[in-house]
Amino acid sequence: MGKETVIHTDHQSLQYLHSQTKLQQSRHYIWMGFLQQFHLVIKYKKGIHNKVSNMLFRPIINSSTILKHNFVLHESYIEQYAQDMDFKDVYETLSQGKRVEELDYHVKDQLLYHCGKLCIPQIEREAPTSLISGHFGVSKTVAQLQRFYYWPEMNETISRYVRRCAMCAKRKPSNRKLGLYTPLLVPSHRWESVSMDFVGGLPKSRKGHDYLYVIVDRFSKMCILVPCSKKITVEQTAKLFFEHVWVHFGLLNSIISNRDT
């Protein structure tokens, strides 16, 4: 922060990130607002010339490799297979050299696999709690884990866990209306809080104005009407706010709007 940072990417369209005139979705505004605090210079670099950094984005090829180097975890899995309600019968059968009919299980390095995916005992099924695993909700967590791991009723287990996760509940808002509507706090003096909106469908003026930018002081009900166009942008709206409100009344404590971003 405060220093110029050059980013080389093989994603060619990212070099135009700061020059976009219109963003499509609300989350793009959130991302752009976060990135604006940094001095970033994005430069395009073909993937063939960017091989070293590309390795950072490669998925783990073989989860058994990690367990081989982690002797304690490797031995723990082997011990738990013998007591696990889901895998003990299959593991015992395969350990004796017998085949399991109609089931795609196999043992490699004393670890149990199903269709090439490592089988996770019940006591170890806590991947979403990892600090580096993130809190992505049910769908993305299932998609990530199913690439390398397996256990019966995997979707139900992850769904139940995510619903009980406090961090997921905070970061993943529900679309349902929860609780009762509460009134806004009443301001204590003038121009402490304002509401703003646009009124449209008006006859076009000689200057091409067909909308009104409406700012209302929530304490005194004083109203400021500013002519504008239907195609007004976020930057133009901010400029009108500074010219007609901020220069006269200073910085406000809150702005109420139904326009999200």
Question: Is the predicted pLDDT of residue 198 greater than 70, yes or no?
Answer: yes
169/163 Cα distance (integer angstroms)? 7
Domain count, the chain: 3
Give a yes or no: residue 115 inside a domain: yes
Question: What would the pLDDT profile of 93-126 be if each residue is shown by its tens digit?
Answer: 888 777 766 578 888 878 888 888 888 887 666 5
Residue 180 domain-assigned (yes or no)? no
Closest C-alpha to 261, from 22, 37, 40: 22
- Domain shared by 145 and 237, yes or no: no
Per-residue confidence (pLDDT) for residue 69, from 0 to 100: 47
229 and 206, same domain (yes or no): yes
What confidence tens digit (pLDDT) does each residue in 128-144 have? 444 445 667 788 888 88
Do residues 45 and 74 share a domain? Answer: no
Residue 17 burial by Cβ neighbours in a 10 Å radius (0-12, 13-18, 19+) = middle
Domain final position from 57, 74, 89 = 57
The verdict on residue 97 lying in a domain is yes
Q: CB within 8 A of 7, min separation 6: which ones?
A: 40, 41, 42, 43
Supply the angle between the helices 137-146 and 154-164 in degrees, to the nearest 10.
Answer: 140
pLDDT tens figures, 154-177: 888 888 888 887 777 766 656 666
Query: Could you read off the pLDDT of 34-82 as tens digits, one per residue?
Result: 888 889 899 888 877 766 665 555 554 445 555 554 555 667 777 888 8
CA 67, CA 113: separation in Å to the nearest integer?
13
Q: Is pLDDT at 23 greater than 50 in this prediction?
A: yes
Structure tokens at 225: 């009407």
Domain hosting 98: range is 63-171
CA–CA dist 45, 53 (Å, integer) = 11
Are 29 and 87 found together in one domain?
A: no
pLDDT at 132: 46
Give me the mean pLDDT over the 214-232 stretch.
Answer: 93
Do 48 and 97 have their domain in common? no
Q: Are residues 35 and 80 in contact, defined by beta-carbon separation less than 8 angstroms?
A: no
